[in-house]
Chain A
Amino acid sequence: GENVEQHPSTLSVQEGDSAVIKCTYSDSASNYFPWYKQELGKRPQLIIDIRSNVGEKKDQRIAVTLNKTAKHFSLHITETQPEDSAVYFCAEMRETSGSRLTFGEGTQLTVNP
């Protein structure tokens, strides 16, 4: 079945540093990889996504890279700010799976001022 492993489970950085979260997946048919940010007590919100025909995608301070051969994808946040502190979830989807997402277990990112 589908499986997504996410590392690290917690990450603490100084304001202005970069943060990287990595996920690995097992299904070679997976073709859609979104990232969600969840602030305390709030709903998860989509922050960036990538499809399997693209290797990298950027949106201001965040970027996602995908290595299909190694079956891993990563979230990169540059110039981190305290408001980036949240739990981040990766996810993967196979188009033939009824558009179901399988989520990683999340990474608690803390940005220290």
Chain B
Amino acid sequence: DAGITQSPRHKVTETGTPVTLRCHQTENHRYMYWYRQDPGHGLRLIHYSYGVKDTDKGEVSDGYSVSRSKTEDFLLTLESATSSQTSVYFCAISGQGSGYTFGSGTRLTVV
């Protein structure tokens, strides 16, 4: 309904396994972002994209990679999940210099 969807909504995975989270937008926005939200830390930027195949690191990028092969899709991959990556992950989209629209979030638990 907000032009942005995340999948899956919930995931439980084992330590050491790879995990990919998907963000899909229908707004044709240039910018897409992945944030993680943890108690006491607010929202912290993992990676962001400013166009197809154009990505850059945020403040907590270690252990994460991203890809954007199409305007509408931005994928976040945990190459080898660790318990410290248990978190709620939010994708967001925006136009130039404007506020974000967030997805509904993915609750990831690494056991």
Q: Which residues of A contact B (CB under 8 A)?
A: 31-32, 34, 42-46, 49, 89, 93, 95, 98-106
Contact = CB atoms under 8 A, between A and B. Distances in A.
A95 B97 CA distance: 6
A89 B97 contact: no
Interface in B38-59: 40-45, 48, 50, 56, 58
B89 to A, nearest CB: 11
Contact of B90 (A44, A95, A100): A44
For chain B, give the interface size range. 20 to 34
Nearest to A34: B99
A102 B45 CA distance: 8
B74 interface: no
Contact of B58 (A49, A99, A100): A100
Contacts of B58: 100
A98 B99 contact: no
Contacts of A49: 99
A102 to B, nearest CB: 8
Contacts of B100: 34, 44, 46, 101
A49 B102 CA distance: 15
Contact of B43 (A32, A46, A89): A89
Given A46-B100, A103-B42, A105-B41, A98 B48 contact: yes
B97 A45 contact: no
B48 A46 contact: no
Contacts of A98: 31, 48, 50, 56
B94 interface: yes
